[in-house]
Chains A and B, each alone.
Chain A
Amino acid sequence: MIKETRLTLQNIGKINPESIDDYIAAGGYEGLKKALAMEPFSIIDEMLEAGLRGRGGAGFSTGMKQKFTSKSCQDCPQRYVVVNADEGEPGTFKDRVIMEQDPHIYLEGTIIAAYSIRATKAYIYLRGEYTDSITRTRKAIADAYEKGFLGKNILDSGFDCDVEIRLGAGSYLCGEELTMLESLEGKRGNPRIKPPFPAEKGVFGAPTLVNNVETLANVPLIIKNGKEWYRKFGTERSPGTKIFTVSGQVSKPGYYEVELGITLRQLIDDLCGGMLDGKSFKAALLGGAAGTFVDASMLDERMTYDNLKEKGATLGSGAVIVMAEEDSIYEVLHSCLRFFKHESCGKCVPCRVGTTLMVKDLEKLKNGVKDKEALVQKLVKDSKMIASTSLCPLGQSPILPMESAARYFTQELIV
């Protein structure tokens, strides 16, 4: 029986999220104290060796990102941290849990990250619909100022840092880091071309470290307890824990923080109480709409960034949408493709027209088209074409659910 390993979620349900004193009594802000006594570059070294990988979806090394951001443009007058709190990937709600129930943990991580790259300003780009997350984070910031964890000369270290919230307004694409920076500057959410990466030219043209809420929640723990401690969890190349948000046909849907490397079967059977009403497992969509379908043959694969990638699947944000025999792959795929059509910003033709055509073509499967198998193959081909010709990563997303659905479930799609 696998159990949860709660690191970033260790305080959930144990402290009052509106009380900074509760957080401090539970050992909070000790990471920050320790960090401020260290040189910024040794914090980055510690993070590099701990091996934490970004929890926002892409799984990029957090220490590496800090290193790039701290080294770029030495004469820039300002550097920034931007917290990606715009959680919008369907099936994902882990950041909301952290922000609502233990906001100080990611705020503390934000301040440490700012110190590590010598940024004196951080913005939290927070999803506009997340009312409780906004209220709790606002209170956490105010209380942190009062206790001297924010503002001028933090804890007599000579380091200054300010944090402000900026609200999103209902665009999934603004969760993509470069688009987020545009939106943060008060513009329409049109993507920017990479490179330059945010580490070189981020918000207001200055070097910017963009990190996800869950990523930042790990930072104080790593600094406080050290890299060796952190590396005891997870696997060699995917160290630590990950919060999986499980929804759909399981007995106990919810959020579960586990060591990286557990299997889907363990997640469903040991933690989620098995399938709902004893139904039989058919598929899971891993990583949300911009994720991949898997079938029962993947139940015993270890869920790490690299292993899933090798097997053609994604870990992504940690969303796990579980489907039973009675659920229709067509319906879920249709909902994913419709999602991309809706969220496409329309700036480039392949994505704007392509996502619309894909929904229409998929619907032909239900309208008595003759050669359904050829139609499924055409959809896969089109999604590849869209991926290779689109401007930004949103256009590179429909291929993920499309190709994996075709790989495992063509037989079902064509009946």
Chain B
Amino acid sequence: MNPQEIISKHKPTQDNLLNILHDLQNNNPENYITTDAMDLVARYLNMTKSSVYGVVDYYSMLSLKPRGRYIIRICVSPVCHIKKAGGIISHLENTLGIKTSETTPDKLFTLEVAECLGQCQEAPSMMINEKVYNNLTEARIEGIIAQHK
């Protein structure tokens, strides 16, 4: 579906803005919201371009820049922190050869840190796109990454 078709699925009221932006981003293999798409949204909802931009810029799940096909979001909130998320992050960085907030050269993975994912009973936790991975150990990381290659 092209951006215009995605946008038209939603009713043209401003309270639908976040729903539309999620939809656009999820349908972009580079996991971000393009300037062209923002322009279309602004026109559709009768908003200024700068206020649409301001919204995309504000929310941590939305991106203004191209990202990898898979967004890895690892939790650094207190429970995951005491369950040694720090070690998992270093291990992810080494496995992927990137630092947090970076994308691998093959554009497959972007590594981000996140706040509590609501999975604390099985911490440490991360998400890859919409899927949750709990009870993480360093030993499991390579396997999980390999599944996505």
Contact A172 B115 (CB under 8 A): yes
Q: A171-B58, A187-B55, A327-B82 are in contact. Are A90 and B116 (CB under 8 A)?
A: yes
Of B9-17, B88-96, B100-108, B138-146, the one contacting chain A is B9-17
Which of B19, B55, B120, B130 is close to A131, meaning CB atoms less than 8 Å apart? B130
Q: 1/0 per residue A367-390: CB within 8 Å of B?
A: 000000000000000000000000
B19, B60, B116, B132, most chain A CB atoms within 10 A = B116
Contact B82 A331 (CB under 8 A): yes
Of A30-38, A240-248, A307-315, the one contacting chain B is A240-248
Q: 1/0 per residue A74-95: CB within 8 Å of B?
A: 0000000000000111111100
- Pairs across A and B, CB under 8 Å, 27 listed: A88-B116, A89-B116, A93-B120, A128-B18, A129-B114, A130-B118, A166-B16, A166-B18, A168-B18, A170-B59, A170-B60, A171-B58, A184-B15, A185-B14, A186-B16, A186-B17, A186-B18, A187-B55, A247-B79, A248-B83, A289-B77, A319-B120, A321-B78, A323-B82, A331-B82, A335-B77, A345-B58
Answer whether residue B2 sits at the interface, using C-beta atoms and an 8 A cutoff: no
- Give B43 Cβ to nearest chain A Cβ, in Å: 14
Answer whether residue B99 sits at the interface, using C-beta atoms and an 8 A cutoff: no
Answer whether residue B49 sits at the interface, using C-beta atoms and an 8 A cutoff: no
Which of A170, A186, A331, A336 is close to B15, meaning CB atoms less than 8 Å apart? A186
Query: Complex Cα distance A338/B77, Å?
Result: 9
- Chain A contacts for B47, CB-based, 8 A: 186
Which of A88, A167, A203, A331 is close to B18, meaning CB atoms less than 8 Å apart? A167
- Chain A contacts for B120, CB-based, 8 A: 90-93, 245, 247, 253, 319, 321
- Chain A contacts for B55, CB-based, 8 A: 186-188
B interface, CB within 8 angstroms of A:
14-19, 21-22, 45, 47, 51, 54-55, 58-62, 73, 76-79, 81-83, 114-123, 127, 130-132
B15, B22, B83, most chain A CB atoms within 10 A = B15
Which of A90, A189, A253, A342 is close to B58, meaning CB atoms less than 8 Å apart? A189
Query: Complex Cα distance A192/B51, Å?
Result: 17
- Chain A contacts for B83, CB-based, 8 A: 248
A interface, CB within 8 angstroms of B:
87-93, 96, 123, 127-131, 165-172, 183-189, 203, 245-248, 253-255, 285, 288-289, 319, 321, 323, 327, 331-332, 335-336, 338-339, 342-343, 345
Contact B18 A90 (CB under 8 A): no
B73, B81, B123, most chain A CB atoms within 10 A = B81
Contact B59 A335 (CB under 8 A): no
B22, B47, B127, most chain A CB atoms within 10 A = B22
- Chain A contacts for B22, CB-based, 8 A: 128, 167, 169
Contact A321 B18 (CB under 8 A): no
- Chain A contacts for B122, CB-based, 8 A: 253
Which of B14, B81, B121 is close to A93, meaning CB atoms less than 8 Å apart? B121
- Chain B contacts for A323, CB-based, 8 A: 82
Query: Complex Cα distance A90/B79, Å?
Result: 8
- Chain A contacts for B18, CB-based, 8 A: 128, 166-169, 183, 186
Query: Complex Cα distance A171/B18, Å?
Result: 12
Contact A339 B78 (CB under 8 A): yes
Contact B21 A169 (CB under 8 A): yes
Which of A91, A187, A289, A331 is close to B51, meaning CB atoms less than 8 Å apart? A187
Contact B81 A332 (CB under 8 A): yes
Query: Complex Cα distance A354/B81, Å?
Result: 23
- Give A41 Cβ to nearest chain B Cβ, in Å: 29
Query: Complex Cα distance A137/B83, Å?
Result: 31
Which of B17, B78, B131 is close to A91, meaning CB atoms less than 8 Å apart? B78
Contact A332 B58 (CB under 8 A): no
Which residue from chain B places its CB closest to the CB of A324 in the assembled complex?
B82
- Give B14 Cβ to nearest chain A Cβ, in Å: 4
- Chain A contacts for B19, CB-based, 8 A: 165-167
- Chain B contacts for A327, CB-based, 8 A: 82
- Chain B contacts for A335, CB-based, 8 A: 76-78, 81-82
- Chain A contacts for B21, CB-based, 8 A: 169
- Chain B contacts for A170, CB-based, 8 A: 59-62, 114
- Give A154 Cβ to nearest chain B Cβ, in Å: 22
Which of A87, A90, A253 is close to B121, meaning CB atoms less than 8 Å apart? A253
Closest 6 CB pairs of A and B: A186-B17, A169-B59, A170-B61, A170-B60, A186-B14, A247-B120
Which residue from chain B places its CB closest to the CB of A328 in the assembled complex?
B82
